Structures are given as structure tokens and as C-alpha cells.
Chain A
Amino acid sequence: MALLDVRDLSISFTGYGRTAQVLHGVSFSIAKGERVSLIGETGSGKSVTSKAIMGTLPENATIEGGRIAFDGLDLLALPPAERERLKGSDMSIIMQDPLSSFNPVFRIGKHLDDILRFADRRIGRPSGAQDRKRRIFETLRRVQLADADRVFDAWPHELSGGMRQRVLIALALLHKPRLLIADEPGTALDVTTQAEILKLINGLVDEEGLSLLMITHNLGVVRQTADRVLVMNKGEIVEQGPLAEVFGAPRDAYTRALMAAVPPLYGDRVENQPVSDAAPVLAMRDVSKVYRSGGIWARGEGHRAVSGVTFDVPEGEIFGIAGESGSGKTTVARMLMGLLDVTEGEVVRAPSSPGRRLTQIVYQNPGTSLNPKRTVAQTLAVPLGHIGMDRAAASARMTELMSLVKLPESYLGKYPHELSGGQKQRVSIARALAAEPKVLILDEPTSALDVSVQKTVIDLLLHLRAELGLTYVIISHDLSLMRNFCSRIAIMLRGEIVEQGTPAEVFAAPSHAYTRALIAAIPVLTEAEEALKPTVTEEERAAFLVPTTTLAEEDA
């Protein structure tokens, strides 16, 4: 018998006097010990499904029909108290974002203790503080957190993202649940950390014989963690079946489109971007950047964010700077644009047309980089006004820009909230192009977007480069994207470039162990690609990756 059985579940949300149906007759089941992945993009209804199972739907949600059976119990018909009793003890959830899932003014241990205390009380076995502490320490060790007592006493901000994610997993395991729901675990973390987290979850599910419902938008993750796959689109399950079947021969058009949108790492679908031998339009010569700490009693060496970075960006190329958080890639981009002064070394810029800037930037999150109170036309008017265009010329240029980024001209009158994520990013690109720069700096231009939208934005950028003869510098942590999009890439680690070359060279024979670790951690879609990935030894990993199992020594 299935442990979890969801039948014809329909849910609607009410807000501002309108009702929107978000789930349409969703049916699936999870057997004991089975690992099921629920794939979907933003707004597909995958998180609503998990909240309906857990019983944490917001107040404005209405269950229109259907049933959820857990081990034969009809969850929707259960009295609230009995429903509560299942939480945390029979079914539990691994929260998505480790950085925001702890209350910042309470210690980690307090969260764990309160959750365990109330779960114990609900199942009628009140426990003592010492007993709880012992069980918490045990669970922390099960998620491979080495110094459990220090983690217990730490404030949330004192732990790295990876460690917090481990604690979130520990939270879910405190009561030996039978069903574990994992909501995009690790997506907010660096790729190498994410790989470790997935390995941990897989191991725990195996050891304890748990049933797993993994919710994710990353198909590579699915391949590593699922026996069976559910594909969800606009509140409906469009395809379900065993992993090999769905990935090997997807039947639904949406599934096929999703898979096609994932950039390949190896194989014949990989694209190589041409390398140019033109003169460099931007270059860095042995550049370093030190951030001094401020304050009345400023002292110490400051933080060395970038050291000895040298590279050329020939005109017409797409230069990629790859690295994980804190590697210094954003500092490099800011120095390239002249927004930050260099501490040592030199940034060489080609001359730009009079009155124009050489570089413009496209930011990561179009949702926050566009002013919500300005229409598209008003947003575009700013750079056009800067270069001294009059009203008529600006209006003509706006029409031109809109056709360049393939948006209808009528969108000029729209506000950002009326646009989708992909459309907003198109507006950001139009804004960056408005003053005719020669170089666009792309700061993680697609990481806030769904995969299918990512692909259209990347295609647009490639098209624009060909049409306008632009040069791009892209900063990203997404190596599979960069493999297909860049002419050359540089890998940054702790402020230094450890490897540089064309993507074909770097991916075929990565020379630095860190590069190998990065590539090895990328979730891929096929066994064939998996086999081509480089390997790293444990010693190499330990030398370059931030540990997520122990507390780093306090920075002096």
C-alpha cells in the first residue's frame, strides 16, 4: 500500500476579490521507501502541493476537492489536533532556504529544542531538557555536523549556508519521520555545497528507509535523487513515470522543452562560441582589491577580495568569470566598470565614443533592479536623457530598443509588476543597451529565472551580440550555462584566477583541482555526461572547499 496517496487534489487561492485555481486534479502516490521527484517551474503549484500535504497552506487557500491519504488516514478529514500530531513526527519537511529559515535572534539550539519539545508533547511523551539535548546532538551527528555542541549554541548567522542546510535536515529527522518532503534543498547554496547536501539526503533516505518527496526545478538534481518523476505545469501533473522512462523518452511536450532547456556539459549538443583575435577592449593587469574595515578604531589588514588578477577581453568575445560566493567575481566586475577603484594593478579600457560609457551592466534580479514605480518608457528615458537625446529621438530609440529585445512596443507603457521575469530581464537588457555601450557586463543574468526562460534570454543575448557586435563579460556560478555561452572562461577561487581558457579546453582537461571539483558537482541529465565529468579526491576537495560539517575558526 502506498504511504502517501493524493487523489484529484484541487486548490484555489483568493486574493483581492479574485479566485485563482492553482491545482487542477492532482493525483500521485508515494510507496514506502520510494523516492519521488516533483519537477516544475515557478508558479507550477509544486510548493502548494507540499504545503497541502504538510497542512501549512496559507489562510487564503481553499481545498476545492480531492483527498490526501497518509498511511490510510484521510488527512483532510482528520481533526486539527490529530493532524498536528503528524507534523514533524510522521512527516516532516526540509525547508528550502537555509539562510532565512532560522529566526536570527534565537540560537540554533533553541529552534531544535522547541520543535522537539512540542512534537514530544503532541504524541503524548513529554521529555526532559537533558534527554532532548542528547537526542538533538545525536541527530546533528547524523547529518555529519562534527561539533554538535558548538552548533547547538551558535546563532544562525554564525553558521555557513551549508551548515544551516544540514541543521534544517536534522530538524526534519528529529522524530524519525516516515515521509520526508524536501523543498528545493540546497538551491540557495553553491553548487559544490549543494552536491554534498544531496549526497547526504540520499544516504539518509537509504539508511532509514524513508519515503522522499523531492520538490525541485533542477532536472540534474532529479536524476540523482529520484526513482520516479512527476512533472508539473500550471497546476497539473503532465507526465509521471519511472526516472529512466521519463528522462529517456519524455512523452509530454512540456517535459521535452524542459529537458531541452538544460544546457549540456558534454556531448554533441554542446555549443562552442568563437574566439576572437581582435585587440582587447577591456583588460586587467595584476589587479588587487583590499577592502579596509571602517570604524573609529580601524585596524588590521582589511579583507583582500581580489589579488593578482590578469586577463584580456578581446573585442567580440564572451568572457566568463566563474566562481562561488565570496570568490571575488563581483568585485572584479565592478572594477571593470570603474565603479570601484583598484588597490593595486591597472584596468585597461578601450576608448569609448564621446559622451558614451564603454560598459553597461545587466543585473541578476530584474525584479529588484527595475524601479517598480516607473513604466518601461520612463526606465529607458534615464540613460537616453543622459546621453543628451531629445524627446523625439529618445522615443524613436525606445521603439528600436524594444524591437531589439523582442518585446512589443506597447509594453513601453507597462509597469514592472505587469511583466514576467523574462520580460523584465529583457527590459534590463534594453536599458543597458540604450546608451550604446561596447561591452555589457552580465551579472548572473539568468539565475533568477526558470530554465525555459533562461534559454530564451541567452538566445536573445547571443543574437544581440551578432547583430550589434557587442562584447560580453558574464559573471556566474552556473558552469553548465558558461560552457555553452562563453568564448573564454576564468575560474576564480578566493580572489585569484586559478584557471583560464576556452570552455572546451577547461572542461575537457581541467588542470586545477578546484575546477575539477566545481565541474564534478554540476548535476547533469544523462549517465553519459556523468561519466565524462572529472573526478576529485577527498584530499583535493578538503583543500579547496569550505567545510560544511565543522565551524570555521572565528575570523580574527
Chain B
Amino acid sequence: MTLRIQVQQQDFSVASEYELLRQEARCGAVVTFSGLVRELTETQLLRMTLEHYPGMTEQALIQIATEAQQRWQLGTVTIIHRVGTLLPNEQIVFVGVASAHRAAGFAAAEFIMDYLKNRAPFWKKEHTSNGEYWVAAKVSDHVALQRWE
């Protein structure tokens, strides 16, 4: 059971992360998720800035990954989240889960993203052609947690 948690400004390579996740022979499945900066429909997104709470962020991600490892039989769990300035289509977040069989991997990756969206102290600000706006939290993200309770 290995945890790989990183909060960083620099980009990450899904290929390199996947190679790290597929090293365990007892794991027959690797599930990965990447979240990207999406362009806006009504205005032009110039860039996004991601603020976080240094120290708490890392602890929150470790807690979420550890809880996933307690719920499902998992191998390595990787969570990488970028902070700072990001341009449209850049990578924001990576979640990778190695597991013996696919069901645990799919479930754990969704669980981690649902909790990350609600509990990890990150805040997005969109810089658009019409001005700067803090992204509002979505009710749907909050509702998504209920299925794990």
C-alpha cells in the first residue's frame, strides 16, 4: 500500500504516473483520472489560478487516499494536484489507483475525486475576457458525496 501525494505548480506526465502504478504484480487493474482546465461557454477563459492552504491540503489528500485504502483493497494510490496559474486545456489533477480487480479501482478513483472536490482546500479563480471570478462550489459535487455515506 503506497501513497503518492503531490501538490505542485509544474505539470505531470500521465504516462510516467501510469508506469509507477503498474509495477505491482498482484494488481491486475490501474484506473486513472485526469482533470483539465475547461474553456467557458459564455466568455473567453484567459487563465485560471488555483490557490490552496499549504499544509492542510497535503493532510486532506492523505486522509482521503487513506480512507479509500481502508474501504477497498488497493495497491498504490496517486493524487497529484496543481496550484498556481493554469491555461485552458492544461492538466489540473491526476488520480490513479492500482487494484487487484477493476471494480475497486473504479470505485476508489470516484470516491477520491468526490471527496477531493468537497474536502481538499483548493480554490479556483477564472480570469476571463470579462473579468476575474472565483468559481462557485457546485451543489452536485456536494450531493455526489452522499452515495459514499
A and B held together in a complex: no
> Hey, which bits of chain B sit against chain A, CB under 8 A?
none
